[in-house]
Chain A
Amino acid sequence: NAGVMQNPRHLVRRRGQEARLRCSPMKGHSHVYWYRQLPEEGLKFMVYLQKENIIDESGMPKERFSAEFPKEGPSILRIQQVVRGDSAAYFCASSPQRVGQPQHFGDGTRLSIL
């Protein structure tokens, strides 16, 4: 019974490159959330998606960041033209459709920008 799967675990990019982070939710979960954790800070919500729909993207920076959760395959968080300030741990969480269920987290992707 696999949990939330994120890959890669570590990603190194140079400034200006693109970063793609992947997340497969737990089996039976239809809601996916992305959070960012900067050093010595708490997790900050970025975006909440269901299959083929973005439900809440109030925490996403307006530029360079995008997210999708296609009908088939994992959810993708994409960061274009990365800058040093994008260095952080990016966590994905999932929950089932039933109301009021807790979110379960993946191990995260640690993004480092050179």
Chain B
Amino acid sequence: EDKVVQSPLSLVVHEGDTVTLNCSYEVTNFRSLLWYKQEKKAPTFLFMLTSSGIEKKSGRLSSILDKKELFSILNITATQTGDSAIYLCAVALNTGTASKLTFGTGTRLQVTL
């Protein structure tokens, strides 16, 4: 059975701290790994990773994939209270033109003043 595991489950940090969120996976026929940010409503797309070792960066957020060790990390530097959210990791399988996403349970990040 395909599995995506995120750690830690929850995290409380002070504004300005740097955080690293982890995502490991065991799936057949991997295509890509995606990160989403979920606040009160829609999960918002952050990154899609398909190749090992190539960092994707957007502002204070960055992510990298290791296809040999089957994991990804999401880094957030200089955290702000607006970064408080649930961060979801998902894996897409290589099954034709499109496929379902298998999600982890998420990491709940709280950034305090």
Contacts and interface: CB of A to CB of B under 8 A. Distances in A.
Whether A and B are associated in the same complex: the answer reads yes
Interface of A: 3-4, 31, 33, 35, 40-45, 48, 55-56, 58-59, 91, 93, 95, 97, 99-108
A17 B66 CA distance: 47
B31 A100 contact: yes
Contact of B102 (A45, A91, A101): A45
B90 to A, nearest CB: 8
Given A42-B105, A91-B43, A100-B50, A105 B36 contact: yes
B105 A41 contact: yes
Interface in B13-61: 31-32, 34, 36, 41-45, 48, 50
B100 A108 contact: no
| Residue of A3, A33, A35, A100 with most partner-chain B CB within 10 A | A100
A97 B4 CA distance: 25
